[in-house]
Structure 1
Amino acid sequence: MKLIEALGILKKPNTAGRTFHLVLACSYTPLHLLTFLQAHLTLALAQRRVEVRTGLYGDIAGTLRQALAEPGDAVVIALEWPDLDPRLGIRQLAGWPPETLPEMAAEAGRRLALIGELATVIAAQSPVVVSLPGLPLAPVSFQPSRQQSPLEAALAVSLAHFSAELGAVAGVTILNPRELDRISPPAERHDVKAELASGFPYQMAHADALGGLLAQLAAPPEPKKGLITDLDDTLWRGILGDDGVAAIAWDQEHHAAAHGYYQQILQSLARSGVLVGVASKNSPAIVNEALARPDLVIGPADLFPVEAGWGPKSEAVARILQAWNIGAGSAVFIDDSPMELEEVGRAHPGLECILFPKQDAAAVYQLGYRLRELFGKSEVRQEDRIRSQSLRANQELHKAGGAADMETFLREAGAQLTLTWLQPPVEPRVLELINKTNQFNVNGRRYGDAEWRDYAARPETAVLVAEYRDKYGPLGKIAALAGTRQDNGFHIETWVLSCRAFSRRIEHHMLREIFDTHAVDQVTVAYQPTERNGPSGEFFATLLDAAPAGPFVLDREQFTARCPALYHARAVETAVKE
């Protein structure tokens, strides 16, 4: 992004909704970094206004203390060498005598410890993003530049310790220095003239690169959910129908190691909660035989569903998306055939279609990085690990066709439901569930991290989470509800249920729990129809006389009369979640 483009983005009138408040803590003059950071955030948060607050020059600790008193939606800490000791910069004229170098190293350790302590406290209120010093260190040491000095070694140790400890704190994200190196060469970052003249140390291109990465960490894009892959000349080298099961390859011996690398990436994604499916023009029998080969890096347990046949691949992709219950915009399709990509892309607008570069090992290697960007997440939770397994279990549910079969299925599923009333701090999984669920979502409301923490911590707020398992396996935490007790009623402000848990009557259990625990006669629901929350409206229509058009009231007598049989073994808990 050019500076004029960033300024143009910021000049456009913004009548969007809630304001995203970000604190930028740095000891140098932020100048163009502030402009680029705000512009990138404005693009990422199209439905919100963005305001960035900065602190005093040379006082990063003071800025962080102020952020504690006035928390924002996120706090960005952009460190440079003078933050560790002002003498490590080029604007201070305190001198660099050799005998002071050990003292500089010790001071750097003390200041990093203070910044880490403040960031840890702030992270309990707002997400914190930290970038480490990225400019060349000034020639403060007497050693030649080709030799690492004891000061440089000590600073490297202090920074490694700082980033490892702080990066392990919930709510803190450390910008990856190697990614910054990849997009902004270190030798091209420093603007010495600007730093000496105004205190702003960056070349324009580096300010854009750093601002862009910080914005992505402060307001992360929604990761993709599923990857659909071709088989022939993609997952392996060779044409299964022509070459046979024994001849397809993905190893060095057969000059097919790039395919093995691709399998390794897919296996890693699958074990991290990404849905990985197969769309292949082959006989189902021979595909099953090939996928049973024990030397495959990614095996059948990590692939669901596998669609093999001779029809158009767009139809296979449609069946996979339906099995996953996600939209095309949440998935990626990879094939070595431009024709197949064109056919599938036309049928599924929004699906990201990527050509597998089978003749270019370096491009396959880079594809791994691209997939990490598309599917990456800050942590892998238990719900991620069991996602594919739970979708397989859903197939059994959908096989129960008629009402009688469904009733038998539910009665014999051995379902166990744990309902937990959470106390602050409410675990991150709840916010993730609220912000990513579209179909059973009573109003489509999304929360920022700091906004949600503030709401959930209010004394009047009640948060209920449902965790489910049956004889087919666990689904994990699949529903969350938040609201407040009001007179003789309970007001539901937010309620979501994962599509993996549809048709199991979990919604009925949650309503019954509200009526029973809060001893109320009425429940009001802040329902608003959206383009995608039809399933929630359909559910409420079974309890009301018709699908609601807006907020509504449900009384206990009405619910009891229309609530079907509930077969789950139910446990209710009150717990503090870390």
Structure 2
Amino acid sequence: MAEQTSIVKCLVWDLDNTLWQGTLLEDGVVTLPAPIRDLIAELDSRGILQSVASKNDHDQAWKQLEELGVAEYFVLPRIGWGPKSDSVREIAAELNFALSTIAFVDDTPAERAEVQFHLPEVRCYAAERLPELAALPEFSPARVTVDARRRREMYQAGFQRKAAEADFQGPSDDFLRSLELVMRIERATEEDLSRVEELTLRTSQMNATGVHYSLTDLRGLLADPRHEVLVTKLNDRFGPHGAIGLELLEKHPRAWHLKLLATSCRVVSFGAGSAILGWLTDQAAQAGVHLVADFRRTERNRMMDIAYRFAGFTDEPCDCRAGLPAPEQEDIHRLHLTPEPSAPPPTMKLHAVSLRGV
């Protein structure tokens, strides 16, 4: 069994005599206790996804969830007559979550034992423990970011997006245009900082340096007039992607120093990294300064290396680097770009702050 202190990412519910009181196919009428309704809403507000693994008639059970007003809270429900371990496994796989981040609650000991036998990493709870669930450490994230509070909404939009892409006939650029992508690049606010810190900590494939900036570090940079702490957000016709990028920029008279660029792996296929670099290049060109970017090559961030090279960054020396502080780590080297005006990609609309001036 996984460590009990690691955070649960998804709670999978049984229905009969667990989520609701009564057995739907026998009683015909079931009730949803107020404390259970409150628990569902509370876990959702903490960014913990919720699903269903129930042995029931699918249409009748889902209609009941809709009538009770809680259907919207559940993603990827599995309602049928197969083993519940198969349902839990399928939910975890489609979410791309490790089994150790999944929890399962059921009133029947045999059902919990079946899941535990086949999926020993999954944490199983008796229905009797539901009143204490919200207070357990594994259901209590240390911080709840802006994006965490709407995580379910973002996943549900992602499922719709994926289905639309599977049905789309035509070139990939035409599909991207059909998404009506809107990128916003803004100065980070205090409300954004937890998500910004999370990006520096959790993003590895699209992270230029891997350097972690704590909340204290980020607040210090926000207060420093030479620094820009920028957050990139993305939306499309299906809904929000949330905060998907972070740019830490230090302004010098001859060069802008890009200390960190990190973007979510979820938006690589939308060209988000290239769009951000293109915008930075255009802003630097308008300000008449060069761009210098810190980069540390790792086994996982090859895509970020390609994005920098594709944007025109090279290893060429330049006097503009004079006066820049030494890299924070010895294995970080600096790339250089003499910028030229750049237009946003035709597949998305871009709304961004102006960075001109020191």
TM-score, length basis structure 2: 0.72
1:446 aligned counterpart, secondary structure: coil
2:230 aligned counterpart, secondary structure: strand
1:262 aligned counterpart, secondary structure: helix
Give the aligned partner of residue 474 of structure 1.
240
1:387 has 2:151 as partner: yes
Q: CA deviation at 1:394?
A: 1.0
Quick check: 1:417–1:468 contact (8 Å CA) kept in 2?
A: yes
**Per-residue CA distance 1:451-497 (angstroms, 9 max, x = gap):** 44345555654422111222222333232132556876744435142
Quick check: 1:418–1:468 contact (8 Å CA) kept in 2?
A: yes
Quick check: 2:8–2:102 contact (8 Å CA) kept in 1?
A: yes
CA radius of gyration, larger in: 1
Give the aligned partner of residue 352 of structure 1.
123
Count of paired positions: 324
Give the aligned partner of residue 19 of structure 2.
235
1:248 has 2:30 as partner: yes
Give the whole-Å Cα distance in 1 for the aligned partners of 2:187 and 2:36: 43
Describe the shift of the 1:564–1:350 C-alpha distance in structure 2 as closer, same or farther (beyond 3 A): farther
Give the whole-Å Cα distance in 2 for the aligned partners of 1:239 and 1:405: 49
Quick check: 1:422–1:574 contact (8 Å CA) kept in 2?
A: no
Describe the shift of the 1:236–1:443 C-alpha distance in structure 2 as closer, same or farther (beyond 3 A): farther
Give the aligned partner of residue 262 of structure 1.
36
Q: CA deviation at 1:311?
A: 3.5
Quick check: 1:440–1:496 contact (8 Å CA) kept in 2?
A: yes
Quick check: 2:134–2:140 contact (8 Å CA) kept in 1?
A: no
Quick check: 1:423–1:574 contact (8 Å CA) kept in 2?
A: no
Give the aligned partner of residue 215 of structure 2.
449
1:301 has 2:72 as partner: yes
Q: CA deviation at 1:431?
A: 1.8
Describe the shift of the 1:350–1:510 C-alpha distance in structure 2 as closer, same or farther (beyond 3 A): farther
Describe the shift of the 1:238–1:555 C-alpha distance in structure 2 as closer, same or farther (beyond 3 A): farther
1:332 aligned counterpart, secondary structure: strand
Describe the shift of the 1:489–1:277 C-alpha distance in structure 2 as closer, same or farther (beyond 3 A): same
How well do the aligned residues superpose, as a CA RMSD in angstroms?
Answer: 4.1
Give the aligned partner of residue 87 of structure 2.
316
Q: CA deviation at 1:569?
A: 1.1
1:292 aligned counterpart, secondary structure: helix
Give the whole-Å Cα distance in 1 for the aligned partners of 2:306 and 2:263: 16
Give the aligned partner of residue 350 of structure 2.
570
**Per-residue CA distance 1:128-151 (angstroms, 9 max, x = gap):** xxxxxxxxxxxxxxxxxxxxxxxx
Q: CA deviation at 1:351?
A: 3.5
Describe the shift of the 1:397–1:379 C-alpha distance in structure 2 as closer, same or farther (beyond 3 A): same
Give the whole-Å Cα distance in 1 for the aligned partners of 2:44 and 2:71: 11
Q: CA deviation at 1:350?
A: 4.4
Choose which of 284, 307, 331 in structure 2 pairs with 1:518: 284
Amino acid at match of 1:393: A
Q: CA deviation at 1:422?
A: 4.4
Describe the shift of the 1:426–1:334 C-alpha distance in structure 2 as closer, same or farther (beyond 3 A): closer
1:285 has 2:69 as partner: no
- Quote the sequence identity (%): 23
Give the whole-Å Cα distance in 2 for the aligned partners of 1:442 and 1:281: 47
Quick check: 2:182–2:349 contact (8 Å CA) kept in 1?
A: yes
Give the whole-Å Cα distance in 1 for the aligned partners of 2:271 and 2:241: 14
Describe the shift of the 1:424–1:390 C-alpha distance in structure 2 as closer, same or farther (beyond 3 A): closer
1:237 aligned counterpart, secondary structure: coil
Describe the shift of the 1:368–1:524 C-alpha distance in structure 2 as closer, same or farther (beyond 3 A): closer
Q: CA deviation at 1:306?
A: 1.4
1:326 has 2:97 as partner: yes
Q: CA deviation at 1:419?
A: 0.7
Describe the shift of the 1:314–1:442 C-alpha distance in structure 2 as closer, same or farther (beyond 3 A): farther
Give the whole-Å Cα distance in 1 for the aligned partners of 2:93 and 2:268: 14
TM-score, length basis structure 1: 0.47
Q: CA deviation at 1:236?
A: 1.6
Q: CA deviation at 1:411?
A: 0.4
Higher mean C-alpha displacement, 418-427 vs 394-403: 418-427
Describe the shift of the 1:502–1:397 C-alpha distance in structure 2 as closer, same or farther (beyond 3 A): farther
Quick check: 2:233–2:245 contact (8 Å CA) kept in 1?
A: yes
Quick check: 2:205–2:303 contact (8 Å CA) kept in 1?
A: no
Give the whole-Å Cα distance in 2 for the aligned partners of 1:395 and 1:425: 27
Give the unaligned 5+ runs of structure 2: 311-330
Give the whole-Å Cα distance in 2 for the aligned partners of 1:424 and 1:263: 31
Give the whole-Å Cα distance in 1 for the aligned partners of 2:107 and 2:114: 13
Give the unaligned 5+ runs of structure 1: 1-220, 251-256, 358-362
Describe the shift of the 1:224–1:437 C-alpha distance in structure 2 as closer, same or farther (beyond 3 A): farther
**Per-residue CA distance 1:415-448 (angstroms, 9 max, x = gap):** 2111124489974432244335466445554343
Give the whole-Å Cα distance in 2 for the aligned partners of 1:248 and 1:446: 49
Give the whole-Å Cα distance in 2 for the aligned partners of 1:228 and 1:425: 30
Amino acid at match of 1:493: L
Give the aligned partner of residue 119 of structure 1.
none
Q: CA deviation at 1:528?
A: 2.5
Quick check: 2:245–2:261 contact (8 Å CA) kept in 1?
A: no
Quick check: 1:390–1:474 contact (8 Å CA) kept in 2?
A: yes
Give the whole-Å Cα distance in 1 for the aligned partners of 2:189 and 2:70: 41
